[in-house]
Structure 1
């Protein structure tokens, strides 16, 4: 932290991020908010800070996606200095870039295995227990409270792409549902203005990922009365049905309003600009641009409240493994060039 703060002569602490100047807008004004997640170009603190600065320069939303540090919120434990210092840095960045609204996503499931299990389980909790373990449940609620106290987000996601857990591990999903209700009520009791919801994975809702199946929009009913926003992620380049942006059905994004009458937010969306090794995806920059234009047009036409692109810059560390599908999703190269 010391490398990113300094004191002036009047003892004021310098802001942690660079000064940003928003470019003049071109074209017709838009009715929705835009932004980026904090996925950095490099796994360094300066690059992470730059992710905030980029969101502030070009948009109005920034999204933090984080798995709970489970054991730190177990009985007789407390948040680590790393957790607290990260919260202080991020809160300072949000204060500096005061035009940004925060979407904080508490992400308790493992994306590497298509979210069929709890992520980063402590050794004392078996996968079979998962969301049924009382210490884990209490930690989830406690961490949600920590987030709203320290970040005061406008939007709080309790669970990410949660429909994938439902179809892959029904028992864990059942346990999560009751935990979600408990956490939702706890947050609302102290911060009623916070918009609380889970996120859903659109391609999986439509049955287009992995094993093709019928659409599963009925999952939204499980959260009736405790879902302030419909928030979906979308990576259509990973769906078997879409070989290019032009293949995406006309109503693909416009249909969201048919399933939810309230505020709708597209979070965590992207499209590859280059082929991905070992995958059928053959993205191009032109195809990525076509998808982006289509997405923004649909969000505007449907009156949705906002859209968040996963990464402003190509993540340079995403060369292999599960992250490889995100290697070329940035709107700029990892070094910042176009």
Structure 2
């Protein structure tokens, strides 16, 4: 098992971050981008602000903002993990529109459409195909934390299954060697989220495994107080039952307690807990030969949260201290453990 300070010289998984900004300033963006480039061999790009529905359906020209994002290329030698989703950020309804900018309201044409409506299937599939053709990712998620829909809006789950299957088949037909999958939010999957208690998470996800090339998990243990502390070394053993390659699509552990005034909650954490979480996740990834591990935030982003109105500011604070460096650029103890693993040469037997 790979752990910080171990004698291992190789690792079987890629490591990386998203480029989520430390602040909504040029400096804040640059700080996160530079850190991600320096401390990983994989860059995670997540389009979480919607889908250009009309242009994707018609095959028409995308807006300058969409084209700018599709033009992204990782630095030389870095792998690219691209994530798109037909669901909105609540994971409960159709994604918003991405036009001249993202997160725009849906037009009356799209409002209320079923997830398996032919127009939705056609537009989402075309966007996936155009994104792959433009960006040539090494990994592709066509759903982000999709199982949360099963908890929050189970009536739409069967619709989503048909949408995912159709998109998977179409993209796979043209890109047979590209790993394609949806990501699974672990707190819902293990029913640590209240909304998930009545859902058949394991059974429904198992049913979709033929349309999953990787079992990819979204992992934030500080969001569920019932998860034992420190983070258990056997916590992710359940993933092995699916007999699929495994990955961590996004993750994080808060390095200090976070008070969420809007919700009357405190999420608990410390720098030592964050360090142990990183070490244990990397150790599990080495043991089980994961495909990749992503820590969502490079840098703490309290400054960004202060710019948001309530309750969005508190929602952001859930993850605001999960970076591996502080907002002023100071390395946290977890970063040394991360970099120790990164220094080991990538080799997948």
- Alignment counterpart, residue 116 of structure 1, candidates 78, 81, 92: 92
CA distance in 2 between partners of 1:84 and 1:49 (Å) = 20
Partner of 1:28 in structure 2?
8
Partner of 1:310 in structure 2?
296
Counterpart of 1:277 in 2: which secondary structure? strand
Question: Residues 29-70 of structure 1, C-alpha deviation per residue, up to 9 Å, x if partnerless?
Answer: 233221111212123456445544433322211111113232
CA distance in 2 between partners of 1:146 and 1:43 (Å) = 28
CA distance in 2 between partners of 1:34 and 1:293 (Å) = 13
CA distance in 1 between partners of 2:171 and 2:305 (Å) = 34
Counterpart of 2:246 in 1: which secondary structure? strand
> Deviation at 1:26?
9.0
Q: Residues 271-290 of structure 1: matches in 2 within 5 Å?
A: 271-278=253-260, 279-290=265-276
CA distance in 2 between partners of 1:324 and 1:81 (Å) = 31
Does 2:46 align with 1:62? no
Question: Residues 209-241 of structure 1, C-alpha deviation per residue, up to 9 Å, x if partnerless?
Answer: 134627722222232322111101011100131
- Alignment counterpart, residue 220 of structure 1, candidates 195, 205, 226: 205
**Cα distance change, pair 76–286 in 1 and its aligned pair in 2 (3 A):** closer
Q: Residues 254-333 of structure 1: matches in 2 within 5 Å?
A: 254-258=237-241, 260-278=242-260, 279-315=265-301, 316-319=303-306, 320-333=313-326
Counterpart of 2:236 in 1: which secondary structure? coil
CA distance in 1 between partners of 2:83 and 2:135 (Å) = 12
> Deviation at 1:291?
1.3
- Alignment counterpart, residue 215 of structure 2, candidates 230, 236, 259: 230
**Aligned residue-pair number:** 304
Counterpart of 1:181 in 2: which secondary structure? helix
Partner of 1:7 in structure 2?
none
**Cα distance change, pair 76–227 in 1 and its aligned pair in 2 (3 A):** closer
**Cα distance change, pair 45–105 in 1 and its aligned pair in 2 (3 A):** farther
Partner of 2:328 in structure 1?
335
CA distance in 2 between partners of 1:236 and 1:26 (Å) = 25
Counterpart of 2:87 in 1: which secondary structure? coil
Partner of 2:68 in structure 1?
85
Counterpart of 2:23 in 1: which secondary structure? coil
> Deviation at 1:132?
3.7
Does 2:146 align with 1:159? no
CA distance in 1 between partners of 2:7 and 2:21 (Å) = 28
Counterpart of 1:36 in 2: which secondary structure? strand
Q: Residues 45-194 of structure 1: matches in 2 within 5 Å?
A: 47-48=28-29, 50-66=31-47, 67-75=50-58, 77-88=60-71, 90-91=72-73, 94=74, 97-111=75-89, 113=90, 115-120=91-96, 122-125=106-109, 128-194=112-178
Question: Residues 251-301 of structure 1, C-alpha deviation per residue, up to 9 Å, x if partnerless?
Answer: 21122112x212110111001112222222122212211211121112222
Kept after mapping to 1: 8 A contact 2:254/2:270: yes
Partner of 1:37 in structure 2?
18
Question: Residues 283-337 of structure 1, C-alpha deviation per residue, up to 9 Å, x if partnerless?
Answer: 2212211211121112222222221000111123134142121111101112322
Question: Residues 48-94 of structure 1, C-alpha deviation per residue, up to 9 Å, x if partnerless?
Answer: 45544433322211111113232332337421011112222x12xx2
Segment drifting more, 47-56 vs 217-226: 47-56
Segment drifting more, 172-181 vs 140-149: 172-181
Q: Which blocks of at least 5 consecutive residues in structure 2 are unaligned?
A: 97-104, 307-312, 332-349
Report the RMSD for the aligned CA atoms in angstroms: 2.3
CA distance in 2 between partners of 1:62 and 1:296 (Å) = 17
Q: Output the TM-score relative to the length of structure 2.
A: 0.80
Higher RCO (CA 8 Å, separation ≥ 6 residues): 2
